[in-house]
Amino acid sequence: MKIKVCGITQIDQLKQLDELGVDYAGLIFYESSPRYVLNKLRSEDVYKLTLNIQKVGVFVNASEEDIMTQIELYGLDIVQLHGNETPSFCKHISDHVSVIKAFRINKKNEQNIDWMIKPFEEFCDFYLFDTGNEKAYGGTGEKFDWDILKNNKINKPFFLSGGIGLDDVEQLKTFQHPFFYAIDVNSKVEIEDGVKDMKQIKMFAQELKEVTKK
C-alpha cells in the first residue's frame, strides 16, 4: 500500500518523508490553503533535491499555464487536480505529466460516483476520493463512508483521503477494493497547519506495512 503525505511546507520534512520511504509528498498550490507552498518553499530548493519520493503538485481550478510553470519550477512528478476541472482539461495536462483526479464525496453525490468518474476515465492515471463539497476542496479533516466505493465500477487505482490518521490503521485493515492503491494523509498527522508530526507518520507507515505484509 502506497502512502501520500499532503500539505508539505518545510524542506527538512520533505527530506524526512523520503528517508521514511513515504511514496508521495503533496505540495499544495492553492492560494486559499493554509498549506500554500509558494509562501513556504522556494522552488529552487525543492528542484535541486535528489529524492525517491514522488512530488505531487495539488491544484484547484488553476490555469494550464500556471500548472505547467510549477511543474517546471518545482520538478513535479505528478499533478493532482482537486477542483472542478473538466475531462478535456485533464487530457491537456495528462499529455505532459501523470494526473490524479480528485473527487469530493458528500451526502449529495455519494450515490453517483460512477457518473462522476466515467468522463475522466481516459484522461487521468489515478483517482482520489476525498471528503468535501462545492465550497470545501478537501482539507476538512472528516471521513466519508469508504464502503460506498465498493458499490461503484471503479477500475483505476485510487487514493483514499479525508481525515485519515494513525487511529484509522485498524479500519484500513478491513477495507478491501481491487483498485485501492494508496492512502493520503494530511491534517490528522499535523502539529499545526503544514507542520507534520513525523513520529506519527513513521508509526503510521510502519503499522501500515505490517498490515500489507499479512
Instruction: Look at 93 and 170; give whichever has higher pLDDT.
Output: 93
Cα 117 from Cα 127, distance rounded (Å): 8
Query: What pLDDT band is residue 137 in, cutting at 50, 70 and 90?
Result: low
User: Per mean pLDDT, which of 127-136, 169-178, 202-211 is the most reliable?
Assistant: 169-178
pLDDT at 58: 98
Q: What is the pLDDT of residue 152?
A: 84
Spatial separation of the C-alpha atoms in residues 105 and 147, rounded to whole Å: 12
Tens-digit pLDDT profile for residues 79-118: 999 999 999 999 999 999 999 999 998 888 777 899 999 9
- Concatenated DSSP letters for 166-184? GGGHHHHHH---TTEEEEE
Superfamily of domain 2-213: Aldolase class I (3.20.20.70)
Angle between helices 64-74 and 87-94 (to 10 degrees): 30
Strands, E assignment, the chain: 2-6, 24-28, 54-59, 78-81, 98-105, 126-131, 158-160, 180-185, 190-192, 195-196
SS3 91: helix
**What's the pLDDT at 150?**
87
Find the mean pLDDT for residues 11-23: 97
Q: Where are the domains of the chain?
A: 2-213
Residue 77 reports pLDDT greater than 90 = yes
Q: Which three cell numbers stand for residue 22?
A: 513515504
- Percent pLDDT > 90 in the chain is 79
Average pLDDT on 175-189 reads 94
The secondary structure of the chain in percent helix, strand, coil, rounded to multiples of 5, reads 35, 25, 40
